[in-house]
Chain A
Amino acid sequence: EVQLVQSGAEVKKPGESLKISCKGSGYSFTSYWIGWVRQMPGKGLEWMGIIYPGDSDTRYSPSFQGQVTISADKSISTAYLQWSSLKASDTAMYYCARRPGTIPFDYWGQGTLVTVSS
């Protein structure tokens, strides 16, 4: 069974750093892209970026380029999304999702809620 399991909710202060994770299982982790999607409170879905764990090829939405870093450790089948300096506007639910080569996101993680507040 394909599963993407994300790390738990986080509460952080502005300026702090954070790295959240997404662990894949039940499939060949290195053979599928893993994307990250933001959902701000009460809002829609925003495509942030995507990584191919097989060779760490990473692409970002222009809206998120330079704001976050996407990485992966294929030895433990885990993708990451990290911030070096959080802002209150980063408060959102973050989802990881698997993308097969020719179709869009077919499996999603359960989401990680990030709250940034002083």
Chain B
Amino acid sequence: EIVMTQSPATLSVSPGERATLSCRASQSVSSNLAWYQQKPGQAPRLLIYGASTRATGIPARFSGSGSGTEFTLTISSLQSEDFAVYYCQQYNNWPLNTFGQGTKLEIK
């Protein structure tokens, strides 16, 4: 099983600033990495797939990068609606597509 490790567990950032979230895979997942956003009481929402492709309707302030084992989600200028929990997921290893444990992005 591929283990996905996200850091930090909690990130405190002020609105308007940049946030950088990290995700590391225990073995290479190529570019088969997705990011999801989950707000309280809601289902997760797909933000990024293929490590860097924004899903339909996702604002350009969200960007993803990386390949192999190291990945980054960057939110360029935080809006109030961006404070949420973010999960990475590898989908290189079929069918067990494991999730990271999540990073909570909170208002500083």
Contact = CB atoms under 8 A, between A and B. Distances in A.
Contacts, number: 57
Interface in A76-112: 95, 97, 103-106, 108-111
**Of residues A37, A44, A111, which shows the largest number of chain B Cβ atoms within 10 Å of its Cβ?**
A44
Contacts of A35: 97
A77 to B, nearest CB: 19
B44 to A, nearest CB: 6
Nearest to B97: A47
B107 interface: no
Q: How large is the interface on B (under 10, 10 to 19, 20 to 34, 35 or more residues)?
A: 20 to 34
A46 B87 CA distance: 11
A21 to B, nearest CB: 16
Given A46-B99, A47-B98, A106 B46 contact: yes
B97 A45 contact: no
A59 interface: yes
A59 B98 CA distance: 14
B100 A104 contact: no
Contacts of B98: 47
B99 A47 contact: yes
Contacts of A110: 43
A62 interface: yes
14 contacts: A35-B97, A37-B44, A37-B99, A44-B102, A45-B44, A45-B89, A45-B99, A47-B96, A49-B95, A50-B95, A103-B34, A105-B89, A106-B49, A108-B43
Interface of A: 35, 37, 44-47, 49-50, 59, 61-62, 95, 97, 103-106, 108-111
